[in-house]
Each structure stands twice: as structure tokens, then as C-alpha cells.
Chain A
Amino acid sequence: MTTLAMHASDGVLNAPASLLFGAVAAVGLTFAAIRARKELDERTVPLAGLVAAFVFAVQMINFPVLPGVSGHLLGGALAAILVGPATGALCVSIVLVVQALLFADGGLTALGVNITNMALIGTAAGYVVAVALRGLALRSRGGLAAVSFVAALVNTVFAAAGFVVEYAIGGQGAVSLGGFAAALLGVHVLIGIGEGLITAVTVGAVASVRPDLVYVLRARREQREGVIP
């Protein structure tokens, strides 16, 4: 099995847990689709499509984090900052579906688990951080980069924490949960630093050309104007 697996495979969690998180993912994506209607408009649809394609591309680029261990972008915080949390969750989900169906990466019964962690939990965590620090993001380009970095790091660690919870519920290997949690969260702090750097550079690049398209920068003004409820 020298496969290039980047996400949870089938069989790591038992069938009930896979079903449970398949349902969680379905409910979460339904809410995301409803809310995304408010985030998307004529101007932002092309950017949202491109953000999904960009996340797919960057997820292919595994970078070293420890000897023999790599990491890659998850992309939830990046997408939420650029196109909004609901649209961002859908972007990451589309990437995961394409990977599972076309590239045999990320299990089919594990798709719900992978969507729950990377598209829902990671994206939500990253977005909450970005909104909490929006004052800093609005102050300067450097502030925006710093906020992007922190949001992305938190997104990675929370997505990994999601997998720990799922493994506690329906894991099929006989291992100590504490040791597993520590190892998984530890390595994802390192991966999160890489994710933070990629996110800061990407958001910074978009903001330097089209700051008007960056969701986190425009949401407050448009909320006041009643464009986004």
C-alpha cells in the first residue's frame, strides 16, 4: 500500500461512526449551501470556484514537517477568509469529493469524516479566529497576514482534534487514545505552521490586487450596508 494517502482511509473508523459523521457532514453541508447563497454574488462566484481549484492544487504539495513525515494544506481558513465560511466549507468539500472519486485519496466511507474535519470544523475554527481578529486584519496588510496565519494554524489543529474525537467514538485500532491524541495534535501544530504561511502569502497576494474581493475585509462594511445579513 504505497499509496499517496492524504486523508483518512476507509476502515480506520467503524461503520456506525462512519455513518454518524456522514450524517453530520450532510447536515453541515446543507446549512453551508443555504448560507452560501447569501455570501455569493456575481462578483464572488468566479473567485469561489478558483479558491476550490487552488486548494486542490496546493493540497498536492506535501511539505516536510519531521523526518519521514510530511504535511499539506487543508485550506478551510484560507477559503473562509477569501470567500466566506459557508462558501469556504463548500470549496473544501468539493476538493475532498474530487480527491475521493477521481484520485482514490481519502476513503469513500470516510468521506463524511474528512468533510466534517477539514471542511466543517477546520473552516469554522479558522473563520471564528479571523473574525475575532478582524480589527487587526483591517489595520494593515501585515495585520491581515498575521490573522491569516493564526486562523490557518488553528484550523489545522482543530481539524486534527476532530479526528481524535471521531477515533474515540469509532476507532478500530487498539491504541491508547491519549498517546494518539498527543501525537496527532503535535504533528498538526507543525503542519499548521506550514498551513499558516501558505495562507498568509495567498491571502496577502489576493488582498494586494483585489482587496475588494476578500470576504473578511469586506464583510463588515457590507453588513452595515445590509448586503450580507
Chain B
Amino acid sequence: MSTARAKGTWFFVGFALVALVIAGVLSYAADSDPDGLDSVTRSGCTEVAGELHGSCPARHATEHGLAGSPLADYTVGGNDALTGIAGVAGVLATLVLAFGLFRLLRGRAPSGEDGSRKR
């Protein structure tokens, strides 16, 4: 039982490490070209000094309301050499939010074992 539990723990630790390495290290290798949605919605427009001109689906797209925030565009203060740090922060923020929400939502355990640990 204890070895099964240890295996479980290592699995979760390993999964978290993989996510952190992807966001913290592999993110530097990401393709910086616009993604499919961005590319197709901008096709037909040309960008002049940050403004879209012409005729395209994204013609009236506006700048993000939080574009000046510290981690905007997966940078730290606009410095994209720190993308890895922004990525790690995002993984941790997502993990905390998701884990918190799912703990709240968790169905009550069917019997005994967990019954005493309900909040």
C-alpha cells in the first residue's frame, strides 16, 4: 500500500515537473508566428503602426484591456527573455486555482474513509 501511494505521489510530482519544464524552458522554442485564428482573422488587413487597415475579420479588434499588466504577453514587464518565468508563474497560478476549485467541487466520498475529513 505504501509503495502504491509512493508511486502515486511520484506520478503527480513528475506531471507537475513536466508542466513546469514545458512552460519554463520549452516555451523559448515556441514558434512566434501568429496562430491559425490570429492569422486567418487578420488576413486581408495590413498592420501599420499597430493599427489594422484594410478588410479582415479582426479589423475592429482592440488592444487587450490589461495589455499593460506585468505578465502581459507571457513576458515579465515586457521582457520576453523572461518568458520562462512568466510561464512558470502561469503554471503555478493555474494549478492553485484549479486545485482549489476542484477540491471545493469534489463529490463527497461515498463512505467511511474520507467521511471524517469533510470541511
Pick from A4, A41, A65, A101: contact of B107, CB under 8 Å: A41
Q: When the two chains form their complex, are residues A40 and B106 in contact, meaning their CB atoms are under 8 A apart?
A: yes
Closest chain-A Cβ to B60's Cβ sits at a distance in Å of 4
Q: When the two chains form their complex, are residues B58 and A9 in contact, meaning their CB atoms are under 8 A apart?
A: yes
Closest chain-A Cβ to B67's Cβ sits at a distance in Å of 5
Closest chain-A Cβ to B87's Cβ sits at a distance in Å of 5
Those of A4-61 within 8 Å (CB) of chain B: 4-12, 33, 36-42, 45-58, 60-61
B-chain residues with CB within 8 Å of residue A94 when the two chains form the complex: 94, 97-98, 101
Pick from B7, B36, B60, B67: contact of A191, CB under 8 Å: B36
User: Quick check: which of A121-129, A130-138, A139-147, A165-173 contacts chain B, the rest being far away?
Assistant: A165-173
Question: Is B26 in the interface zone, CB < 8 Å from A?
Answer: yes
| Cα of A199 to Cα of B34 in the assembled complex, Å | 22
| Cα of A195 to Cα of B89 in the assembled complex, Å | 24
Closest chain-A Cβ to B94's Cβ sits at a distance in Å of 4
Closest chain-A Cβ to B63's Cβ sits at a distance in Å of 7
| Cα of A101 to Cα of B69 in the assembled complex, Å | 9
How many residue pairs link A and B with beta carbons under 8 A? The number is: 244
By the criterion of a CB under 8 Å from any partner CB, how many residues of chain A are at the interface? 80
B-chain residues with CB within 8 Å of residue A71 when the two chains form the complex: 35-36
Most interface-central of B36, B99, B114 (chain A CB within 10 A): B36
**Which residue of B is nearest A52, CB measured?**
B98
Q: When the two chains form their complex, are residues B65 and A41 in contact, meaning their CB atoms are under 8 A apart?
A: no
Q: When the two chains form their complex, are residues B19 and A53 in contact, meaning their CB atoms are under 8 A apart?
A: yes
**Which residue of B is nearest A50, CB measured?**
B15
Question: Is A108 in the interface zone, CB < 8 Å from B?
Answer: yes
Q: When the two chains form their complex, are residues B36 and A187 in contact, meaning their CB atoms are under 8 A apart?
A: yes
A-chain residues with CB within 8 Å of residue B40 when the two chains form the complex: 180, 183-184, 187
Pick from A50, A100, A105: contact of B16, CB under 8 Å: A50
| Cα of A174 to Cα of B15 in the assembled complex, Å | 45
Pick from A3, A9, A52, A171: contact of B94, CB under 8 Å: A52
Q: When the two chains form their complex, are residues B90 and A56 in contact, meaning their CB atoms are under 8 A apart?
A: yes
If A40-B107, A60-B23 touch, does A69 touch B34 (CB 8 Å cutoff)?
A: yes
Most interface-central of B7, B27, B103, B106 (chain A CB within 10 A): B106
9 pairs, A vs B, C-beta closer than 8 Å: A5-B34, A41-B106, A42-B109, A57-B90, A68-B33, A68-B34, A98-B93, A101-B66, A104-B64
Measured CB to CB, the residues of A under 8 A from B are: 1-12, 33, 36-42, 45-58, 60-65, 68-72, 87, 90-91, 94-95, 97-105, 107-108, 160, 163, 167, 171-175, 180, 183-184, 187-188, 190-191, 206, 209-210, 227
